[in-house]
Structure 1
Amino acid sequence: MARRPISEEERALWQLIARTATPLKRRRKSEPKPPPSPEPPAPKLAKPKTKPSPPKAPTPVAPPPVRPHELSHGKAVGIDKRQAERFRRGKTPIEGKIDLHGRTQQEAHDDLHHFVARAHASGKRMVLVITGKGITGSKSGVLRENVPRWLNEPTLRRHVLAFDYAEPQHGGEGALYVLLKRKK
């Protein structure tokens, strides 16, 4: 594969970034240890007769808590390929919908929590969360940015399996498909 020449602008940018990097510490190669020097055996002393103590069992160490993976758009862990494709394309039936337009961040946050908890409790699998695309074209909407973060909060994360942008007929990038976990 032929490489294209690097422009002066790219070279200057790389040098700027490279100056901020800190090198990793190098590991020292361990030198071979000298063989142990032979010592004369210690004289054996008479041991007092005592009952031997039972061997101590190693204390079990608890494994670190398993933290669920971070959810992001289109990342579907824990579902098969076919179901993931149906989910991404909006082919899974939508069983509930919430429109967060016109709400403050706090209201939207609280309403989303209640909506997802109720939908999960009633056994729904796929819901649509409408966030809107935002007021200005240069900056994405506050709710559009925050809803994915809220879906990763522990109180919601325990109910959510995956989420992705909706298809255009359901709101496109101004809405999210949310796949809920099965009720146990």
Structure 2
Amino acid sequence: MDSQTRRRLQQFKQSLSARAQPAPVRTPSPPPPDDHTLFMNAVRGSTPLRQDKRHPHPSAPPSPWPQRQHADLAPHTEAMSDFWPWDELAAGEELLYLRPGQKLDTLKKLRRGHWLVQAELDLHGYASEAARQQVAEFLHAAQQARRRCVRIIHGKGLSSKNAEPVLKLKLRNWLVQRDEVLAFSQARPADGGSGAVLVLLKSKRNP
């Protein structure tokens, strides 16, 4: 075998030996540290401060809205004057009223008891000023509760001076000055007759 052939065989043997060796195993590189790990590494060895975990929030100043809201909703008796340009009630005259702009049929329905009475106020035993306050608060509360028809018992005045229905006339004056009152009429005999009045209120709209 000549030297050239021997050299080729030796190169071929070396190439076979190289192929037989396993490929080196590559170790995967570790993932980059996240923000938390970087932060902890940065503050390693530091001493944490001791403090209360609760943050002392300053107290908010009181809002004027609740007070303003209460003032808007409060009944105003000063808007219910005793002096109103009505003619004096004749003996036995019914209490009747229909706010301008309302259908005449509304008053007819009220007199016939079309609406169910949903609340009642009895003024027996009240002096004039106390009765006015009671009426103002009653009408205000009734509309807030979305009552449509209420009854106010004013009495027939049998126990008053000269047996005159004092509250009957005053009540008429008060009611016509209330914006929420659409109509009122003397109650039917079964509901109090001439000693009571049925009042129809405006529908309160949803806020």
TM-score normalised by L of structure 1: 0.55
For this pair of structures, how many residues does the alignment match?
Answer: 112
1:6-39 CA distance string (max 9 Å, x none): xxxxxxxxxxxxxxxxxxxxxxxxxxxxxxxxxx
1:162 maps to 2:183: yes
Match of residue 108, structure 2, among 82, 85, 98: 85
Q: In the alignment, which residue of structure 1 is the partner of 2:147?
A: 124
Paired residue for 2:164? 140
Residue-by-residue CA offset, 1:72-95 (whole Å, 9 max, x unaligned): 614354444544322111231001
Q: Determine what percentage of the aligned residue pairs are the same residue.
A: 33
Q: Contact 2:149/2:199 (CA < 8 Å) preserved in 1?
A: yes
CA-based RMSD: 2.3
Q: Which has the higher helix share?
A: 2
Q: Secondary structure at the match of 2:158?
A: coil
Report which of the two structures shows the higher radius of gyration computed on alpha carbons.
2
What letter corresponds to residue 161 of structure 1 in structure 2? L
**Uncovered stretches (5+) of structure 1, i.e. residues with no partner:** 1-69
Say whether the 8 Å CA contact 2:119–2:151 is kept in structure 1.
Answer: yes
C-alpha separation in 2, matches of 1:140 and 1:89? 27
CA shift digits 1:20-64 (9 cap, x unpaired) = xxxxxxxxxxxxxxxxxxxxxxxxxxxxxxxxxxxxxxxxxxxxx
- SS of alignment partner, residue 87 of structure 1: helix
Q: Is the 8 A contact 1:74 1:88 kept in 2?
A: no
Question: Which residue in the other structure is 1:62 paired with?
Answer: none
